Amino acid sequence: MISTRLIVDRDFTVSNLDRRIFGSFVEHMGRCVYTGIYEPGHPTADGQGFRRDVMALSRELGVSIVRYPGGNFLSGYNWEDGVGPKDQRPRRLDLAWFSTETNQFGTNEFLDWCRAVGTEPMISVNLGTRGPDEARHFLEYCNHPTGTRLSDLRREHGYEKPHDIKFWCLGNEMDGPWQIGQKTADEYGRIAKETAKLMRMVDPRVQLAACGSSTHDMPTFGSWEDTVLGHCFDEVDFISLHTYFENPHDSTAEFLGNIEQTELFIREVAAVADSVAARKHSTKRIMLSVDEWNVWYKARSIDHRRKPGWPEAPRLVEEVYNQEDALAVGGALIVMMNNADRVKTACLAQLANVIGPIMTEPGGAAWRQTIFHPFAQASRYARGRVLRPIIHSPAYQAKTFPEIAYLCASVVHDDETGQTAIFALNRHLSDTQEISIELRGLGDQQRLVDASELHHADMKASNTKAAPDNVAPQPNANVQIDGHRVTARLRPGSWNVIVTRNTKPA
């Protein structure tokens, strides 16, 4: 057994937590849309063809904002193809995923789905094959009340009131050689600036995110962000980050080092953004949108995009997640919460089937993957202020990161309810962790609200249609409270949630 300590104090706060960090992503890729969230004729389908079973799981997952329609798909997409009468919508070749896009699900269907689920939309504009003019037209169609050709067209399509979409992304992964319409940093920075200017003229209330470099490992990383923000700093609010965890060594210990790499990535992007602010003598701070992140490596190959014959909604990158993947996702959530002063939105990619927490069968069942659980628990309990964690823990060395503490943790306190949520990852794979937690200044009469652990003896254990609850949270009986002190035993390789509430005002 190893011993660790976690200390927080109500006066030492990272930031208020922006609930939009519990976002997800729906792209026209594989079966994310068709037979994922949308399947007319399914036994659970509603009148619009939305799968009610997937909507229920999406609500349980607690997604706060959802990015749409891509992704790589975005850079060849014409938004006009996905609005209006369905029998008049064109079928198109999707060059991003070598599929046939029927356009039976488009912008208005997505927004109806968001309303039904109770989540906010995050809409992206195509800056690959298109540009500022199409972006401002798209925004006018969606957000302008009435009296113009495009706003009246929306009303003809059955949407009298504006959609009032607040958050917009300016393109996707524009430095990637795989991207339709790849651009240099100067090219993209200029078009992002001009697009942002036009969009703000149409609706000055919108929040805008510029594309960061596609991954931390790109040769363009760092210099891309610096150049792009050099152009559009004054016109945008966010810079995006994309990260996918891989396990090339087939080692759980090495794999969990991705959590530290994510922390480094966040801090580096923030530092570059702040250096641009310094050059401009500006007090403005660009916030971070981690609008694509997940585990992705088992269903990934050099030809994962192409299926013969331009099929409709083929099975693409349907990653089957296991226990160690759930630990990595939980650790990433901890890192994003602990950087709540800069990370204001994040999107787990994607929502259904395509590297998704939700899996479905056409005409059949839907179930929770292992990664569903830490996300749903964090979204359920993390509300209020993120407290700065002081962690005392032994550590191990790895190739992915030089020093990795066995304890990874975040604490979020809600002043309104007096509830405190503790999220703790035990990265020791053979030893139980005995943890001592001090909740200073949060009240001396804490009581236990909930305590659970996500643990499985087999790190490769997964959930399937036949065994959908093979890996699922279980009650943790090894938690005690004495005043403001919490002690617990965390099993090896486990994700843990402990929720307390002060019974007397602090």
**Rounded Cα–Cα distance for residues 422 and 4 (Å):** 14
Beta bridge partners of 245: 295
Residue 224, H or E segment: helix 223-232
Q: Give the active site residue among 109, 173, 235, 453.
A: 173
| SS3 category, 116 | helix
Residue count of the chain, please give it. Answer: 506
Interatomic CA distance for residues 19 and 65, integer angstroms: 9
End-to-end CA distance of the chain: 34
For residues 260-292, one letter each, b for 16 or more C-beta atoms within 10 angstroms of the residue's C-beta and e for the rest, the string is bbbbebbeebbebbbebbeeeeeeeebbbbbbb
Catalytic residue chosen out of the listed positions 292, 319, 324, 453: 292
- Whether the upstream peptide bond of residue 69 has omega within 30° of 0, thus cis, is yes
Q: Are 403 and 397 in contact (CB under 8 A)?
A: yes
Contact 121, 183 (CB under 8 A): no
Active site residue 254: no
292 classed as catalytic: yes
Whole-number Å distance between alpha carbons of 81 and 200 = 24
Token pair, residue 163, equals 């959609």
With CA atoms as reference, report the closest residue to 140 among 165, 118, 115: 165
Do 63 and 117 meet the contact criterion of CB atoms below 8 Å apart? yes
The two tokens of residue 121 are: 């939309």
Query: What positions carry a catalytic annotation?
Result: 173, 292
